[in-house]
């Protein structure tokens, strides 16, 4: 996957970019795990081996 294309899409959507930044701030590692070629949507998950201290593991779905 093209990192620059993903970065451009995130920067164009401050809300989505903010969600990924929260992972970074809390020690997570947002990874692209799926790309829908029809809708051009990306799915991110935190694939880090351990949950950073002080953070809960949860799943969040954001629809726009």
Distance of CA 25 to the CA centre of its chain: 12
H helix runs in the chain, sequence order: 3-11, 14-25
Tell me: the pLDDT tens digits for 51-64? 666 665 555 566 65
Output the pLDDT for position 38.
93
Tell me: the pLDDT tens digits for 34-53? 989 999 888 888 777 766 66
Q: Are 3 and 27 in contact, with CB atoms under 8 Å apart? A: no
Number of domains the chain is built from? 1
Q: 4-8, 21-25, 41-45, 47-51: which range is least confident on average?
A: 47-51
Q: Which domain holds residue 50?
A: 1-64
Q: Are 10 and 24 in contact, with CB atoms under 8 Å apart? A: no
Task: Tally the residues of the chain.
Answer: 64
């Amino acid at each position: 996957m093209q990192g620059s294309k993903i970065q451009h899409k995130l920067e164009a959507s401050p809300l989505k970019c903010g969600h990924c930044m929260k992972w970074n701030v809390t020690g997570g590692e947002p990874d692209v795990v799926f790309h829908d070629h029809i809708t051009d949507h990306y799915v991110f998950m935190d694939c880090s081996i351990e949950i950073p201290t002080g953070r809960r593991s949860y799943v969040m779905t954001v629809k726009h």
